[in-house]
């Protein structure tokens, strides 16, 4: 079949995994089939599907679509041109299927950020070697088209930094804590009841989901190999309503950010709660929304905001890749051909430089603050501001200190010593301050 003939034929799609996103993809294709055909010049047709339970009601018709009990059968199926992998997980069936699809010369579209964070470079090399597309717009920030933005729209820019709110569950929890003053555990339980958080929410609230996406953004932004293993990861379990109130008083808001930048030829990738200035655009991104910011040398600062998960936004992202395949558009998986993806040395977190918020719970008695100040002085850490709330003598009192820019290594050492002081009755809370 010639290229012209193939472009006149339907693009035959196999969907592996019919959960929330898979069902959303089928609904989108059924509802916008005619619109998509006009935009692509050919029909996008679901040819086969596979999932664990054939009898489950997914709210979408499977009439006329072949059911495959084994998703691996899609890789060698002559009636499938492109496979959409929505199984999930970094190993096992999802990995095996993706490798087999590429090896059989079929295009692959996936929303699987964990798989790509661990195996993205190898899969990109395989796909480009086989002359097929590996599309993953749906793997980062759902409905926000950040993959195409970094890879294509900003191709003329040198990217200095890319960062964002990349997990809607965490952003929802932090927003709700600020609005209600309730504790983290209460809000988390509520989000689980509402279905916003998984029964096991650890991937979200411990920062791992965000880190998967940071690894992909870094590769797109800096043309480097995907390096999940070097990411510094912290979650939001230790953030309290007290910290959120102090942040507001100081002119900040607390957000879980994923950040990637190249400093002195080293790649710094980190995920942790940040105090961001209340005037920064990303500070106003509330609820379950995501936002991604790229700093380009010609474009300046660009922020995109939208829903980062859910059937509709993620299915929309899947379709953006399918449309490119249907149109015959071929671009590198990341920002440069996979064989040219270099390895940028990782910058250790203890060499990070920045400003810090620390909160101490101390026994209110004479000499305590002098002891804390002495430790900071000994580690060459200087104070910018101090907040202290008076209570009855002998009671626990919060002391908040804003510290000037310093190296993380010295900050951590100082906190270890401060935490060992007799008057400090809880482990110190540290939150990094980002100047955005």
What is the tally of structural domains in the chain? Answer: 3
For the chain (436 residues), the mean pLDDT of every run of 10, in chain order, is: 60 95 94 93 95 89 92 95 96 96 97 97 97 97 94 95 96 95 93 79 95 98 96 96 95 97 95 97 95 96 93 94 94 94 95 96 86 93 86 76 95 95 93 94
Q: Within this chain, do residues 132 and 163 fall inside the same structural domain, yes or no?
A: no
Residue 313 forms part of a structural domain:
no
Do 19 and 95 fall within a single domain? yes
Which residues touch 282 (CB under 8 Å, ≥6 apart)? Answer: 164, 165, 255, 257, 276, 291, 293, 303, 436
End-to-end CA distance of the chain: 53
Same domain, 105 and 174: no
Residue-level pLDDT at 136: 97
Q: Which of 281, 324, 388, 5 is nearest to 147 (CA)?
A: 324
CA angle 379, 383, 388 (to 5 degrees): 120
Q: Are residues 139 and 151 in the same domain?
A: no
Q: Is residue 318 included in any domain, yes or no? A: no
Q: How far is CA 63 from CA 26, 33, 66, 265, in A?
A: 11, 15, 8, 55
- 74 and 34 share one domain: yes
In a domain, 227, yes or no: yes
Looking at the fold, whether 59 and 78 belong to one and the same domain comes out as: yes
| Domain range enclosing 102 | 3-143+330-339
If asked whether residues 232 and 374 sit together in one domain, one would say no
Do 132 and 186 fall within a single domain? Answer: no
In a domain, 335, yes or no: yes
**pLDDT for 4:** 47
What pLDDT sits at residue 108? 98
Same domain, 60 and 186: no
Domain boundary among 339, 363, 381: 339
355 within 8 A of 370, measured Cβ to Cβ: no
Q: Is residue 95 domain-resident?
A: yes
- Classify residue 325: in a domain, yes or no: no
Give the phi and the psi of residue 343 in degrees, each rounded to 5. Answer: -105, 115
136, 163: one domain: no
Q: What CATH number does residue 173 fall under? A: 3.30.360.10
Give the closest residue to 78 by CA, choosing from 54, 105, 45.
Answer: 105
Q: Which residues are catalytic?
A: 213
CATH code for the domain in which residue 138 is found = 3.40.50.720
Same domain, 227 and 96: no
Identify which of 112, 83, 94, 80 has the alpha carbon closest to the alpha carbon of residue 203. 112
Instruction: Tell me whether residue 314 is in a domain.
Output: no
* pLDDT for position 59: 86
The domain that holds 387 is classified in CATH as 3.30.70.260
Q: What pLDDT score does 2 carry? A: 39
- Note whether residue 346 is domain-resident: no
Same domain, 89 and 162: no
| SS (HEC) of 218-272 | HHHHHCECCCHHHCEECCCCCCCHHHHHHHHHHCEEEEEEEEEEEECCEEEEEEE
């Amino acid at each position: 079949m010639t290229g012209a003939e193939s472009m006149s034929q339907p693009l035959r799609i196999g969907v592996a995994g019919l959960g929330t996103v898979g069902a959303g993809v089928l609904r989108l294709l059924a509802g916008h089939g005619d619109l998509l055909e006009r935009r692509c010049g050919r029909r996008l047709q679901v040819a086969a599907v596979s999932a664990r339970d054939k009898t489950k009601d997914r709210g979408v018709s499977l009439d006329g679509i072949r059911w495959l009990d084994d998703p691996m059968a899609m890789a060698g199926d002559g009636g499938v041109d492109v496979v959409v992998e929505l199984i999930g997980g970094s190993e096992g069936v999802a990995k095996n299927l993706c490798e087999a699809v590429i090896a059989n010369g079929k295009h692959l579209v996936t929303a699987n950020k964990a798989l790509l964070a661990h195996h993205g470079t190898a899969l990109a090399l395989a796909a480009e070697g086989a002359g097929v597309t590996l599309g993953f717009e749906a793997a980062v920030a759902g409905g926000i088209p950040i993959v195409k933005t970094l890879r294509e729209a900003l191709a003329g820019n040198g990217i200095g930094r890319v960062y964002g709110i990349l997990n809607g569950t965490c952003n929802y929890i932090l927003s709700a804590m600020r609005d209600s003053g309730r504790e983290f555990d209460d809000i988390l339980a509520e989000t689980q009841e509402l279905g916003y958080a998984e029964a096991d929410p650890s991937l979200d609230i411990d920062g791992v989901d965000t880190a998967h996406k940071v690894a992909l953004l870094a590769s797109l932004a800096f043309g480097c190999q995907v390096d999940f293993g070097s990411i510094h990861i912290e979650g939001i379990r230790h953030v309290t309503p007290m910290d959120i109130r102090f942040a507001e008083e100081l002119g900040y808001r607390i957000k879980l950010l994923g950040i990637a930048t190249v400093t002195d030829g080293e790649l710094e990738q980190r995920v942790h709660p940040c105090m961001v200035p209340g005037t920064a655009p990303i500070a106003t991104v509330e609820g379950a929304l995501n936002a991604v910011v790229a700093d380009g040398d010609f474009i300046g600062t660009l922020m995109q905001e939208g829903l980062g998960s859910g059937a509709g936004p993620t299915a929309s992202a899947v379709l953006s890749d399918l449309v490119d395949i249907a149109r015959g558009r071929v671009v590198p998986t990341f920002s440069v051909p996979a064989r040219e993806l270099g390895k940028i040395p990782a910058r250790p977190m203890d060499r990070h430089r920045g400003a810090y918020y620390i909160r101490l719970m101390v026994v209110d008695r004479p000499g305590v603050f002098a002891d804390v100040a002495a430790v900071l002085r000994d580690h060459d850490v200087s104070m910018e501001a101090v907040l202290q709330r008076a209570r009855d003598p002998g009671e626990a009192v919060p002391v908040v200190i804003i510290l000037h820019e310093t190296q993380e290594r010295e900050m951590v050492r100082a906190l270890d010593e401060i935490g060992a002081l007799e008057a400090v009755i809880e482990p110190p809370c540290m939150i990094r301050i980002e100047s955005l």
